[in-house]
Structure 1
Amino acid sequence: MLIKPYLHHISLNVTDLERSKAFYGGVLGLEPLERPPFDFLGAWYSLGDNQQLHLILYDGETLRSGEINSRDGHFAIRVESFRQAVQWAEEAGIPYDARPNARAGFPQLYILDPDRNIIEINAESLD
């Protein structure tokens, strides 16, 4: 069992980034956040005290038939221990994509639920 999970961010695919930024930042009034220098376009916004919304400009399909693709729509939960999350996935027999030194600045573990929805499990730092 994962220890004290909580929602970290929600990631949504968008087809027109400027239109989406006008809606989330302008219409909804969400506060923009700095975003790491990924090699694809997007925008980050603050949601609540520690939660975030990540918009990803994406033209791929979202009905998954292939492997885990972290750029596809997903939601993330933060846990206290990245290594325990990896151990949990291994013990549960869940296929995963572990990224202990992810470009995002925190370790990430991606899994698929039974319907092939992507779930990111991350930790503040690598333990």
Structure 2
Amino acid sequence: MALINPRALHHLRITVTDLARSRAFYEGVLGFTVVAESPGDPADPVVRNDPDQLYGGVLFQTEGLLFGLRPVADPDDRFVSERVGLDHLSFLVDSVGELSAVAERLEEAGIEHGEVKELNNFGLSILSFSDPDGIHLELTAAL
């Protein structure tokens, strides 16, 4: 028997360098809705270390998961997927057709992205791109 038996992933928070820029990206590109935000100044060290103030960040509601931004990273820092920790985040969409449509919209918006790739061994197609801090994002659809 396992020591812990979690039922699901409840929330995920990523560290960002520029809260306003990242918030605009996740609202505008991924359509996430803010459900809570810090009442304090994200530049205040007390706020940035206080979970009751969301560390100066925001929380978005996605389907089945809270997704947060925490603005505590050095402005010159960048995400590196090859270091220990997070590799990428993947969000589910309804269809492969939606992946193709999103690729076109990303292109029109000037957001770099990969090609829609079929992973036949897994029954999935994916589309990869990155957020403003270089955090790798992926959209996934069943084949």
Note whether the superposition's TM-score is higher than 0.5.
no
Greater relative CO (CA pairs within 8 A, separation 6+): 1
Which is greater in Rg? 2
Point out the structure with the larger helix share: 2
> TM-score, normalised to structure 2's length?
0.37
Return the structure number with greater strand share: 1
TM-score, with structure 1 as normaliser? 0.42
